[in-house]
Structure 1
Amino acid sequence: MTYPLTVPERLLTWLDVERVLKQKTQLWSYLPEGVHSVDCYHDGMDIAYSGEEAGVKDWLQTVFGKAFFHAPWQLHLRAGDGVYPIRLEQVEAAPRPHRLPLYPLWREVAYLDDAPDSTSAVFDLPHAFTDGPRMVSFHSFKGGVGRTTALMTYVTARLHPADAQGPVKVLVVDADLEAPGVTFWLDEKNRPQVSFVQFLEAMHYPPVSEEASLNFFAEQLKKTSLNVDGSQRELFVLPAALDLAEIQDMPVQPGHLARNPNNPWILTDHLHALGKRLGADAVFIDLRAGLSELASPVIFDPRVEHYFVTTVAKQSVSGMCEVLRRLHAFHRALPAPQRQAAKPSVVISLLTTDLRRLPDFGLAKECIEQAYPPVNDVLDEGVEWLEAEFSPSLMAIGSVRDAFDLLKKSSLYASSAQEWATTAAAARKVVENRTAPPINRIDSAQALLEVCKREYAEHSAIDDWLVTEPLRNLGKHFANDIPNAVLVGAKGAGKTFTYLQICQSRNWSNYLQRVGEMAHDAAVAQQRIIFPVLWSGNVDGAARATVGNAKDAGIQQLGLGTQALTLSEIQRQIEANLDSEARHWDDFWADLIAASLGCSGRGLQAINEQLSAQGQSVVLVFDGVEDVFKKPSDAKQTKAIESLLKLVNRLGELPNQSVGALVFVRIDYVQAAIKQNLGQFMSRFSAFALTWNPESFLRLAYWLCAKAGIVGATVDRAQTLSVGELIEKLIELWGHKLGQTDSKEGHSARWVYAALCDLTGRFQARDLVRFFRFAAEEETKNPNAFWAERILSPESMRKAIPRCSHEKVKEATLEIQPLRSWSERMDAENITERSIPFSASSVSLQADELTALRELGVVYEDLDPSLGEKRLFLPEIYRAGLRFDLSGGRPRIQALLKKNLGKMPF
């Protein structure tokens, strides 16, 4: 085993001394008080200081430890037991001299500190490009990993966008000045008489002017361009060199241009200007592999989109992680908008099915995620992840035209490059359309806010509804049979809203029509009266009237001469039986049904026979179980709930069944009441479980827009639009991505879904309503005119998530007893170290609570053995509300969701 060297052990030559000082001072940015300058030479170190000499001595002692001596002043060098003299010069106190800007070179960036509280050395930011081509670079730490192939995949996609209209032009620059790639793919007729080496020289030492040199190179490249699939698509290639001898003698290299004190970013400026003269839509730069100053001036330019290519091999991954660590340290000093735009992409190449199964694949992603973590947004990954499958045919590309033919069949082209090209074209359209009248964002946000303020289903208008898959399944399964099912859902899943919609239907035939189903015998379905027996005490206004009207209509149709029981009467009967247990709960529910319907007989069979004899049938609906049984873990209440849940079994056993039941209940009540064969019970009614999948998430978002009268949405189309059409329509609501259309930010629909769902992909409708409410509220308070083409800005959406989480937890702790117990225990025990991932013992989470919360989706357990004890995660919708942070490890939100769903939706 090897151990890290101490500073004294590292000092072999005077160059090691200089490295240590650069590291300790972050490239001379943090010299101690009184020390004005430090200069290291081969024959000794010169220190200019003011004040007391003792301060200098203490500082050197702290930095160099036992290698420092002050009688005489010197450092011990281990190579040959040498000494390195230290010369002191006392000067008058004066302001620190102005530093030269930090240059985009490895030798300087290597000393930037990536600590979260670090204020790294300042550097001059490059001027943003306001027009002209997009700048894109591809880099790898090792050669032979498919970097050039990945670059040409994106070039192919950009030249063949799906909705190409008008000419498309691309410039490729082979900037690998040690092992050129694209250069050797050129045919003689397409090989220009100029090279990248000559371009560097002409820009560094222009014979006349930079402008004249740029014009000359543009003219030369136009002579040898390639036309691809017609005259509308044109490719220009600037080869690395005209012959290999040229790169063996390079007086001017990229690093020379980067040392320009007035503009360290001048190389990118020149390449952008060249692309602009060619009318290019994009400039692709194939960079030299490794930690080379041939590549660093472009790698550290935040205006360039960076793609880094690696295999899962350890040496490739380790090198790539070092590149990304330095890039992350460099990017920390960028303003927030530029930092978001500078997000790199990592292509894991040459993948096979076997490689994916190896631990190396997971370890590679782990290492890279830690090297470039997200700065703020915990829902996104620090880098954009791309994967490229190994294909033997791509190993034998011999020309640019071969590349075009073969790369269209590659996995990277299909999974990423095509989308990139499409968004690139879309981004240009957005810019072109900025002159069009903007949408009325504030009025639209206000309209959405007003709709979502009616957050709770109990108070919602019920003139229309969104038919989701479980409701459609209910119609399919019971199109001809009398309905008999338990509808399970968490709080906010829409139980009460669905209950009210069924009540409003009055009879089963109407319900079937509303969900798009048809009974074989419409007359029979028409006779099936929907009758509310129990309902939530929270319903009010129009919702309460819906329940009352359904009861009155049912009583009138049945004609059994009874008066409707009030909810308070029903609650008193339940409370009385809880106290006395005078009747078995099976008998209690049968008696309550008889009293509600006005039947003279007692027992389910007698009720069924009486209705059957009169040619009547009824569908009983129950909701509000949580209102009358507030402690489902109490033994008496558990019996009552269990009996109600098994009512559908008893009804199903009746001959010539004329009575059915739909029982709406929260999932934690089912867990509390059904102690045996819970999985079997849940499976039996799984088709009707009130859960929301990614498709219904989009439909609900669109439906809410329709209710608000925004984005041109209509209620009826919420049922009929395809997923692709829904995504397209919702772009006006929340944009294509969380940044600009051509950014590497997360897709808006996917980001919101990941923020609101648990880590198995389940989400609650109320959380989306709540999210829209908070985001719209933020937008109306702080409108951002920059996002003129969308209603909700990324800033408003990000601010809404923590508010959603706090409201979610506040609500859930009242409803979910294990969550309430755990939360109260953490507060009572003053557990402030709450980091994700976590172990149960570290946050006082008991085994039975963990089991329950895992079933409810509040806690997720990752079974990856590499995590050790800390394998528990919280979905983002619970994290902030439970006051957990992510300092204990990488977020993995999207990664876990992707693993559990198989792939990310949308």
Structure 2
Amino acid sequence: MKNLRLLTWLDVRRTICRKTNYGTKLPEGVARMDSFSNALEIGLDSDKNIDSVKSTLKEWFGDSYQENQSIIQLDLGNESLSVEFSPGEQLRIKDKYIRPFWDEITYIDANSAIKLPEPYRENPNLLAFYSFNDGVEKTVNLVAYLLALLDKAKQLDNQIKVLVIDAALNTPGLTYWNINETDKSSISYINFLELVHYSPVDEEQTLLFIAQELQNSSKQEGKSTVYFLPAYINDEQLLDIEILPEHIITYPNKGWELGDYIHKLGQAVGADYVLIDLGSGLNKISSPILLDTRFQRFLVTTINEPSVAGTALCLSQMKKVAPKTSNNDKYYDPSVILSMLTPEIIASPAYKEVLQRFQSAYIQSEQQNNSTMLEIAETYLAPELLYIDNWEDASSKLASTSILENAANWANKQVDFNKIILENLDPVVIEKLQVRATRQGRNLLEELKVIVEEALQEETISLESK
């Protein structure tokens, strides 16, 4: 990596973050290294380590660190940053907790052990849709997955509940679609963020209140129910956002609370699935969810270079919080959806290069044979989707597209629909399943999924050997 010029104190901070793995690997005897606009403060456990730390600063900053004056010379004008040592501080006992923000994850090397949040063992299942660029059919893909879930439930004569959240505060497309609906929600995602941060009542009451508000505007789709939490209620709220996702997880030694609150809200309305539109771009609005491996995350992109480069960048950071084993149904690797494709594009050398770039971006060092656990789906250009005005319009235009076909393929694999099979099994079989599941530390549905996957794998091997 090319060293940045030291134009401001922020460049000094970036250098220190990079050299110390975001403060997780400080030099010996150093308790902290904090950069401010007027000084770099270095906390030490004792005076005996000052000389070694000065040598480290010389190694990191070269001639810019002037030991005799105890300053770091900046590269603009004759300005400098004072270096102040503070002996007698206590060394950190616990490891530094890395939060799901780009500006923290970027400084962590791929081999660092980042503590993942506790997995969810009960519904709802969480899905998040993201794109680096706008205009790549991200929101349309979310709607396709919603329609696929509802259609699958209808086929099986089952009923499900789905909560859809427009968390795209910078580009709230779903909310705009919803403006002309008769039964609009009286509560928004902005309200949700404010209430979990500043609620005058306890958490249980807060979530119950939000759930009741959502139920008032719910929609029936056959036997199933859809709840929608818009990004905002009125323009004033959108233009005056005080609490953002980053505020929910700024407390010390925490980092995954936003996902927890969304999961709890889904439970409060009895949802089987929560689908979240994350918006686009690199920001702290999306990163707490995009970096949370408990979510099934779909990155939607075209093969245009800005979109490809941004998606690959996201994947390169997401791999740092990736599940360490492939046989893990508690955490998820991300998926990429390549949109607006044509047969000519797929046949081109550029397309093969894009696929390789995505796979290379997410490959993990411990993986063998250069394999990755990144799934990539393809969807074709459908001109009718270039203009969509509302939910009904989206549903109608998606009907015969590859986007809906891809979503249907995903819906067919969902373990929740195996509940129906489970409910019709012989009680003796269920009892044996329970014993096996308990032994493996799984619930019945998880065990059923494992058995089905093992059977399909054996069938595939058998067919290949013939």
TM value normalised by structure 2: 0.88
CA 1:263 to 1:40, structure 2 compared with 1: closer, same or farther past 3 Å?
A: closer
Aligned match for 2:340, one of 347, 350, 362 = 350
Read off the aligned partner of 1:81 and give its amino acid letter.
N
CA 1:422 to 1:91, structure 2 compared with 1: closer, same or farther past 3 Å?
A: closer
Q: Partner of 2:453 in structure 1?
A: 737
Alpha-carbon distance in structure 1 between the residues aligned to 2:246 and 2:342: 37
Read off the aligned partner of 1:224 and give its amino acid letter.
S
Identity value in percent: 29
* Contact persistence 2:294–2:330 (CA under 8 A): no
Q: List per-residue Cα deviations over 1:288-311 (Å, max 9, x = no partner).
A: 211110011111222111111011
Matched ranges for 1:141-156 at <5 A: 141-156=132-147
| Alignment of 1:30 onto 2:25 | yes
Aligned match for 1:437, one of 431, 455, 465 = 431
Q: Partner of 2:268 in structure 1?
A: 277
Query: Secondary structure of the equivalent of 1:737?
Result: helix
CA 1:326 to 1:356, structure 2 compared with 1: closer, same or farther past 3 Å?
A: same
Aligned match for 1:39, one of 34, 42, 45 = 34
Q: Partner of 1:104 in structure 2?
A: 100
Alpha-carbon distance in structure 2 between the residues aligned to 1:273 and 1:105: 22
Q: Partner of 2:291 in structure 1?
A: 300
Query: Secondary structure of the equivalent of 1:148?
Result: helix
| Alignment of 1:54 onto 2:54 | no
Superposition deviation, residue 326 in structure 1: 0.7
* Contact persistence 1:178–1:247 (CA under 8 A): no
Query: Secondary structure of the equivalent of 2:225?
Result: strand
Alpha-carbon distance in structure 2 between the residues aligned to 1:732 and 1:212: 35
Superposition deviation, residue 316 in structure 1: 0.4
Read off the aligned partner of 1:282 and give its amino acid letter.
Y
Aligned match for 2:356, one of 363, 366, 375 = 366
CA 1:37 to 1:414, structure 2 compared with 1: closer, same or farther past 3 Å?
A: same
Superposition deviation, residue 78 in structure 1: 0.8
Alpha-carbon distance in structure 2 between the residues aligned to 1:71 and 1:213: 58
* Contact persistence 1:169–1:233 (CA under 8 A): yes
| Alignment of 1:290 onto 2:281 | yes
Alpha-carbon distance in structure 2 between the residues aligned to 1:733 and 1:14: 53
| Alignment of 1:67 onto 2:61 | no
| Alignment of 1:217 onto 2:210 | yes
CA 1:234 to 1:363, structure 2 compared with 1: closer, same or farther past 3 Å?
A: same
Query: Secondary structure of the equivalent of 2:280?
Result: coil
Superposition deviation, residue 73 in structure 1: 1.8
| Alignment of 1:91 onto 2:88 | yes
CA 1:192 to 1:436, structure 2 compared with 1: closer, same or farther past 3 Å?
A: same
Query: Secondary structure of the equivalent of 1:72?
Result: coil
CA 1:210 to 1:76, structure 2 compared with 1: closer, same or farther past 3 Å?
A: same
* Contact persistence 1:343–1:382 (CA under 8 A): yes
- Bigger relative contact order, structure 1 or 2, given CA contacts below 8 A and separation 6+? 2
| Alignment of 1:409 onto 2:400 | yes
Query: Secondary structure of the equivalent of 2:117?
Result: coil
Q: Partner of 1:252 in structure 2?
A: 243
Matched ranges for 1:690-709 at <5 A: none
Q: Partner of 1:203 in structure 2?
A: 196
Alpha-carbon distance in structure 1 between the residues aligned to 2:172 and 2:448: 44
The more displaced of 345-354 and 270-279 is 270-279
Alpha-carbon distance in structure 1 between the residues aligned to 2:163 and 2:448: 33
Query: Secondary structure of the equivalent of 1:130?
Result: coil
Superposition deviation, residue 109 in structure 1: 1.2
Q: Partner of 1:181 in structure 2?
A: 173
Read off the aligned partner of 1:313 and give its amino acid letter.
N
Query: Secondary structure of the equivalent of 2:146?
Result: helix
Query: Secondary structure of the equivalent of 2:282?
Result: coil
Superposition deviation, residue 349 in structure 1: 0.6
Read off the aligned partner of 2:157 and give its amino acid letter.
Q
Superposition deviation, residue 384 in structure 1: 0.9
Q: Partner of 1:760 in structure 2?
A: none
Superposition deviation, residue 751 in structure 1: 7.1
Read off the aligned partner of 1:98 and give its amino acid letter.
K
Read off the aligned partner of 1:436 and give its amino acid letter.
I
* Contact persistence 1:379–1:751 (CA under 8 A): no
Alpha-carbon distance in structure 2 between the residues aligned to 1:339 and 1:423: 12
CA 1:356 to 1:336, structure 2 compared with 1: closer, same or farther past 3 Å?
A: closer
Query: Secondary structure of the equivalent of 2:152?
Result: coil
* Contact persistence 1:156–1:407 (CA under 8 A): no
Read off the aligned partner of 2:273 and give its amino acid letter.
A
Q: Partner of 1:327 in structure 2?
A: 318
Superposition deviation, residue 338 in structure 1: 5.1
CA 1:39 to 1:430, structure 2 compared with 1: closer, same or farther past 3 Å?
A: farther
* Contact persistence 2:136–2:301 (CA under 8 A): yes
Q: List per-residue Cα deviations over 1:95-134 (Å, max 9, x = no partner).
A: 43435522111121121111xxx334x44x3232222210
Alpha-carbon distance in structure 1 between the residues aligned to 2:255 and 2:50: 37
Query: Secondary structure of the equivalent of 1:287?
Result: strand
Q: List per-residue Cα deviations over 1:253-302 (Å, max 9, x = no partner).
A: 01111223364222222222222222221000000211110011111222
Unmatched tracts of structure 2, length 5 or more:
437-446
Task: Work out the number of aligned pairs and report it.
Answer: 448
Read off the aligned partner of 2:43 and give its amino acid letter.
A
Query: Secondary structure of the equivalent of 2:274?
Result: strand
Superposition deviation, residue 66 in structure 1: 2.5
| Alignment of 1:193 onto 2:182 | no
Alpha-carbon distance in structure 1 between the residues aligned to 2:379 and 2:97: 38
CA 1:371 to 1:284, structure 2 compared with 1: closer, same or farther past 3 Å?
A: same
Superposition deviation, residue 174 in structure 1: 0.2
Alpha-carbon distance in structure 1 between the residues aligned to 2:225 and 2:85: 63
* Contact persistence 1:324–1:371 (CA under 8 A): yes
Superposition deviation, residue 379 in structure 1: 8.7
Matched ranges for 1:531-550 at <5 A: none
* Contact persistence 2:99–2:254 (CA under 8 A): no
| Structure having the higher Rg | 1
CA 1:749 to 1:389, structure 2 compared with 1: closer, same or farther past 3 Å?
A: farther
Matched ranges for 1:663-812 at <5 A: 735-737=451-453, 748=457, 752=461, 764-765=465-466
Q: List per-residue Cα deviations over 1:168-196 (Å, max 9, x = no partner).
A: 22110000001101112223313111111
Q: Partner of 2:441 in structure 1?
A: none
CA 1:127 to 1:83, structure 2 compared with 1: closer, same or farther past 3 Å?
A: same
Unmatched tracts of structure 1, length 5 or more:
443-730, 742-746, 758-762, 766-906
Query: Secondary structure of the equivalent of 1:207?
Result: coil
Q: Partner of 2:161 in structure 1?
A: 169
Q: Partner of 2:2 in structure 1?
A: 5
CA 1:226 to 1:733, structure 2 compared with 1: closer, same or farther past 3 Å?
A: closer
Alpha-carbon distance in structure 2 between the residues aligned to 1:732 and 1:135: 20
Superposition deviation, residue 439 in structure 1: 6.5
Alpha-carbon distance in structure 2 between the residues aligned to 1:21 and 1:205: 34
The more displaced of 23-32 and 213-222 is 213-222
* Contact persistence 1:168–1:280 (CA under 8 A): yes
Q: Partner of 1:425 in structure 2?
A: 416
